[in-house]
Amino acid sequence: MKLHTLLLTAISLLWCVQAYAQTPACDALTGDAKAVAQDVMTTAYPYACCDETIAACLKSSPSCKLPKLLANETCRLAAAGKSAKDIKHILDQRAMSMGQLTPPAKIEKRPEHLWGNPNAKTVLSIYLCGRCPYCSRHVPALIEALEKSPLKEKVAINMRLFPIKSHDNSTPAALGIEAAAQMGQAWPFLLKVYKNFDQYSNENLAKWAIELGMDLEKFGTLSQDAATRNIVVTSKKEGLTNQVESTPTFFLNGHKIQGTFDVESILSMLEEAVD
C-alpha cells in the first residue's frame, strides 16, 4: 500500500513537471512560489477552451492557448509573492473581463486617437487624464512594451480623454492633447506630457508642441477652439455613460477590464484576444 502511494505521488509529480515544461514562466519557480503556482494550476479552471484544471488542460489541450496564458500569469504572480488566494481572485477578475457576459460598451474610435494597427480587430480603449499620475506611469509603460512586441501589428490602442476634475489643469491638458491629435501628434504629445509630468504647466504645453515640430499658432488656435472642447466633453460623457470612475480605465473590445492590473496582465489579455 505504501509503495502504491509512493508510485502515485511520483506519477503526479512527473505529470506536473510535464505541464510546467509547457510554460516557460514557471520553469524558474522554486520553493513556496512553486507550491503556490501548483496549488492554483491544479484547482483553478480556464473560463474557455478546456473544461479541466489549468494544469490538466496544459497536457490534454496543447492547441488551446488560454491555459498556457493563465499558467504563465499564475507563475508570474507567484514569483511576485502573491498568495494562491490572491492569484485565484485575479484570475476570476480576468474571467469577468474576458467572458463578455454583457454587451460591449459603445466607444468612439477616432482615427487620430489610434496607436498601433488602425485596422486591427482587437481594440484596447483607454480612458485617461493628462494630469493623472497613475496614467503617467502605466500608459507609457504599456506603449513601450507593445513597441517591442509582435502585438503592435495586431492591436489598436484607442485614446479616450477623461479629464478628472480633482486633477489640477486636467482640462487644459486634455484640450492640448486633443489639439495635438488634430495635428496628427496625439500619442507623441501625450507621451511627452507624461514624460514631463512633474514639469507640467499650461505654458509648457506650447513648448512641447514646438519640440514635436507642430505649428505653434495652429496648436494655440485648436486648443481654444469650441470644436476641440466639444470632442473632449463628448469623450468625458461617453466615459461616464460607460461607468468610468477613475483613470486609467481599460476596455478590451468594449468590455471593461475589472480589478487591479499591470502591464504584463494587459499584454496577456491582448494576446488572448488576438486571432
Q: What is the pLDDT of residues 37-60, one digit of tens each?
A: 999 999 999 999 899 999 999 998
- Residue 6 clears pLDDT 80, i.e. is over it: no
pLDDT, tens digit, 9 for 90 and up, residues 104-125 = 999 999 999 999 999 999 999 9
Report the SS3 class of residue 186: helix
What was the pLDDT predicted at 217? 97
Question: What is the residue whose three cell numbers read 467572458?
Answer: 99
Three cell numbers, residue 43: 484547482
Q: How confident is the model over 231-245, as a mean pLDDT?
A: 98
Residue 216 vs residue 25, higher pLDDT? 216
Of 213, 112, 100, 105, the C-alpha closest to 161 is 112
What was the pLDDT predicted at 261? 79
Three cell numbers, residue 263: 502591464
Report the SS3 class of residue 137: helix
Strand locations in 200-273 (E): 249-252, 255-256
Q: How confident is the model over 94-100, as a mean pLDDT?
A: 88
What was the pLDDT predicted at 22? 53
Q: How confident is the model over 77-89, as a mean pLDDT?
A: 96
CB burial string 62-75: b at 16+ within 10 A, e below: eeeebbbbbbbbbb
- Residue 8 clears pLDDT 60, i.e. is over it: no
Contact 49, 67 (CB under 8 A): yes
- Residue 133 clears pLDDT 60, i.e. is over it: yes
What was the pLDDT predicted at 2? 52
What was the pLDDT predicted at 28? 86
Q: How confident is the model over 22-48, as a mean pLDDT?
A: 90
- Reading phi first (left if > 0) and then psi (alpha if -120 to 50, else beta), residue 133 is in alpha
Instruction: Give the H or E element holding residue 87.
Output: helix 84-98
Residue 97 makes CB contacts below 8 A (sequence gap 6+) with 252, 255, 256, 257, 258, 259, 269
Q: How confident is the model over 177-203, as a mean pLDDT?
A: 97
Q: What percent of the chain lies above the pLDDT cut of 90?
A: 84
Contact 57, 46 (CB under 8 A): yes
Contact 62, 22 (CB under 8 A): yes
- Whether the pTM exceeds 0.85: the reply is yes
Q: How confident is the model at residue 214 (pLDDT cuts 50, 70, 90)?
A: very high
Q: How confident is the model over 265-274, as a mean pLDDT?
A: 96
- Residue 21 clears pLDDT 80, i.e. is over it: no
116 DSSP assignment: E
Question: What is the residue whose three cell numbers read 492640448?
Answer: 176
Instruction: Give the H or E element holding residue 150.
Output: none
Rg (C-alpha) for the chain, rounded Å, is 22
Three cell numbers, residue 219: 496648436
Domains, the chain, with CATH or none: 2-98 (no CATH), 111-273 (3.40.30.10)
Q: How confident is the model over 128-138, as a mean pLDDT?
A: 97
What was the pLDDT predicted at 15? 42
Bridge partners of 123, per DSSP, are: 156
Rounded Cα distance, 182 and 167, in Å: 24
Q: How confident is the model at residue 13 (pLDDT cuts 50, 70, 90)?
A: very low
Residue 238 makes CB contacts below 8 A (sequence gap 6+) with 106, 107, 108, 160
H helix and E strand count, the chain: 13, 5
